[in-house]
Amino acid sequence: MTATTVRSRAVSASPATGRRGMRPQKVLLTALLTVLAVLTAVVFILPALWMFLGSLRPGNQVIESVSPLGWHTLVPSSWTLDNYAALFGELRFGRSMANSLLVAFASVLLGLLISVPAAYALSVLRFRGREAVFAFLVVGFMIPFEAIAIPLAQFFTDWHLNNSYIGLILPGIGNGLAIFNLRQSFRGVPASLREAAFIDGASDLRIMMRIYVPLNVTTVINSALLIFLAQWSSYLWPLLLISNESTQVAPIAIARTFTDTQVNFGQMFGGTLLISVVPAVLLLFLQRFFARSIATSGEK
């Protein structure tokens, strides 16, 4: 059962390794695959690169540089940081970014605070109706929040939670996949550890914090990431809940500039880049935690 966490990942999936002397056929195949991989990479990266470079040129040049099509369509002929200066200055994008960060981190904290004990109870404690509670929680939280966002927004307005951080944070704290993954992972801990701790007089709370959480730190991080990413990119909910600029989050702030009459593509691209940096950094460093989801783990 612990295989999910301790399995060696050194195995390469490629069948084409192992033989030393490569036959010409194989060389050709590798060359072909490399070309294909490079082309795929270019298709995916080019729009991102175009956006990044577009944020470093005067806004009007983004479209002007299209004709004539050439090197300068992609690479600025004049470089500037004005777009970023405007974003952090008059557009107050820094504040929206700070709001987004606050909401996402608070959601992770609260989310773990409700998911970890729930997963512990559902994996370790024996009580009647456990499976039903488990299914109810996971299925309930797996229905995408968007599906009921509109009625919930009306309730939140009645409860005076609109235009508040609490209102932004609360819907993000329940994550079905996080609870599911945590429970799977907790079940891998041998029951004898808990029994031994009990004999030493430890409480369930202490056992959870001192044994289960440290032993499953990978899954805890994975759950934290799931919650963070969902909140960071959330769009519909703040659109429904927040009308006040000072509590607005970054995705909405950047979308507002898109629908403005005075469009500056350079600024928009800069803003997009800024909201992408946080998940990019997190995912690049925590990639291995993230890919360890239930879909990919399990015993053979």
Residues 149-208 within binding reach of other proteins (CB under 8 A): 150-152, 154-155, 170-171, 173-174, 176, 179-180, 184, 204
* Cβ closest to other proteins, residue 222 vs residue 247: 222
Helices (H), the chain: 3-6, 24-54, 61-64, 71-74, 82-88, 93-124, 130-142, 146-158, 165-169, 176-187, 191-199, 204-207, 213-215, 217-232, 236-241, 250-259, 265-290
The length of the chain is 300
Give the one residue of 57, 61, 62, 216 binding other proteins; rule: CB under 8 A: 62
Cβ 85 to other proteins shortest distance, Å: 20
User: Residue 64 is encoded by which pair of tokens?
Assistant: 């002007």
Residue 150 CB neighbours (<10 A)? 11
Choose between 91 and 173: whose C-beta lies nearer to other proteins: 173
Tokens of 114: 């409700």
Among the candidate windows 91-99, 101-109, 132-140, 211-219, which touches other proteins by CB under 8 A?
A: 132-140
Residue at token pair 């996971």: 138
Give the closest residue to 212 by CA, choosing from 48, 22, 30, 5: 5
Residue 254 in contact with other proteins, rule: CB under 8 A: yes
**Binding piece for other proteins, criterion CB under 8 A, among 30-38, 86-94, 188-196, 218-226:** 30-38
Q: Assess 260 for contact with other proteins (CB under 8 A).
A: no
Query: Which parts of 96-125 interact with other proteins (CB under 8 A)?
Result: 113-115, 117-118, 120-122, 125
What distance in Å separates the CA atoms of residue 2 and residue 6, rounded to the nearest whole number? 6
**Residue ranges in 265-284 that form contacts with other proteins under rule CB under 8 A:** 265, 268-269, 272-273, 275-276, 279-280, 283-284
Closest by CA position to 178, among listed 244, 109, 246, 235: 109
Task: Identify the residue among 6, 132, 147, 191 touching other proteins (CB under 8 A).
Answer: 147
Residue type, 210: R
Residue from 27, 38, 98, 217 in contact with other proteins (CB under 8 A): 38
Distance CA 172, CA 230 (A): 7
Least distance in Å: CB of 80 to other proteins?
18
Among 143, 166, 193, 196, binds other proteins (CB under 8 A): 143
Residue span binding other proteins (CB under 8 A) among the ranges 82-90, 127-135, 188-196, 210-218: 127-135
